[in-house]
Amino acid sequence: MSILINENTKVLVQGITGRDGSFHAASMLDYGTKVVGGVTPGKGGQKVGDLPVFNSVKDALSEKEMNCSIIYVPARFASAAIKEAADNKIPLIVCITEGVPINEMLYNYYYVKDKGVRLIGPNCPGLISPGKSKAGIMPAKIHLPGNIGVISRSGTLTYEFVYNLTINKMGQSTCVGIGGDAVVGTGYIELLEMFEKDPDTNAIVLIGEIGGEEEEKAAEYIKANVKKPVVSFISGRSAPADKKMGHAGAIISQGRGTASAKIEALNKAGIPVADCPSQIPKLITEKSGVS
């Protein structure tokens, strides 16, 4: 099994006629993802490759079945795209777009929950269940089917860790990039719960970074609720204390959200923290015997 997406996932691409939308739609198709079409207002009736383009999600649903929508639109249109997918009850919405204003995301967060659907992102690389399906921009060739779940706030770091898992023949069940913004649709705790329930996930890698308190909260949740082995990494250890670093998610306030605070919380929960990506396979083996 896997979480969130599998070989039966049917994907709609919002913003399919744009540069990124068309490129990644083709990449997902090449991987074997069941991409059913795309949406660009005003361009209904056109095609991108062999994929039909619709004017709206509603129009697409009138002709195609789908259970996932992935959003590649400019930031100023992202909230409207999220709401359109949610209004049409698409169960899984993945927003790749970077730069969605935080006040809009606060509204979007509760909007999608009220509609009973799930949002991954924004500002994320999406997710992949290796050998089954990918919805996003993750480089498929570095992934290997297996039993390790990966959750990460960082896109590029995700690839580093997956590569180190794969070269050590440690395949992945599902890899999820939750996004690095201060407000995202789905966080660590929800995904930890899913991986804990997934019979084909034997261990979990949690990749965090400075800013916010999500890793500290995840550590508390793991200690109380997760029986599967969890190993971790926190980036930003060398960030100067008096500097503002990175994106909106990397905000440190009153001593909380620092790398040291996160590492301390994880260690107290019995979760080993790697110093670099190459240490993760060894930590997994030591923690669980998974190889």
Question: What digits encode the pLDDT tens for the residues 15-37?
Answer: 999 999 999 999 999 999 999 99
pLDDT tens-digit profile of 156-199? Answer: 889 999 999 999 999 999 999 999 999 999 999 999 999 999 99
pLDDT tens-digit profile of 198-226? Answer: 999 999 999 999 888 999 999 999 999 99
CATH 3.40.50.261 is right for the domain spanning 139-288: yes
Whether the model clears a pTM of 0.75, i.e. scores above it, the answer is yes
Q: What sign has the CA pseudo-torsion 79, 49, 22, 178?
A: positive
Residue 87: name the closest of 63, 108, 65 by CA: 108
Domains 10-120 and 139-288 share a fold: yes
Active site annotation includes 143: no
Q: Which residues pair with 252 in a beta bridge?
A: none
How long is the chain? Answer: 291
Calpha distance 67→118 (Å, rounded)? 11
Which option is the CATH number for 10-120: 3.40.630.10, 3.40.50.450, 3.40.50.720, 3.30.70.120?
3.40.50.720
Domain ranges of the chain: 10-120, 139-288
Calpha distance 24→9 (Å, rounded)? 16
First to last CA, the chain: 18
Q: Which residues pair with 47 in a beta bridge?
A: 52
What is the SS3 assignment for 56?
coil
Please give the sequence-ordered ranges of beta strands (E in DSSP) within the chain, or none if there are none. 10-14, 34-39, 47-48, 51-54, 68-71, 92-95, 118-120, 126-129, 133-136, 145-152, 172-177, 203-209, 230-235, 273-274
Give the pairing of strands 273-274 and 203-209. unpaired
Q: What is the mean pLDDT of residues 250-275?
A: 82
Calpha distance 61→57 (Å, rounded)? 6
Q: For residue 38, which phi and psi values (nearest 5 degrees)?
A: -150, 175
Calpha distance 86→232 (Å, rounded)? 32
* Confidence check: pLDDT of 280 > 90: yes
Cβ distance 181 to 122 under 8 Å? yes
pLDDT tens-digit profile of 88-134? Answer: 999 999 999 999 999 999 999 999 999 999 999 999 999 999 999 99
pLDDT-based confidence at 247, cuts 50/70/90?
low
Element (H, E) at 81: helix 75-87
Among residues 247, 251, 279, 285, which one is catalytic?
247
Q: For residue 138, which phi and psi values (nearest 5 degrees)?
A: -65, 140
The residues near 191 (Cβ < 8 Å, ≥ 6 apart) are: 3, 149, 151, 176, 178
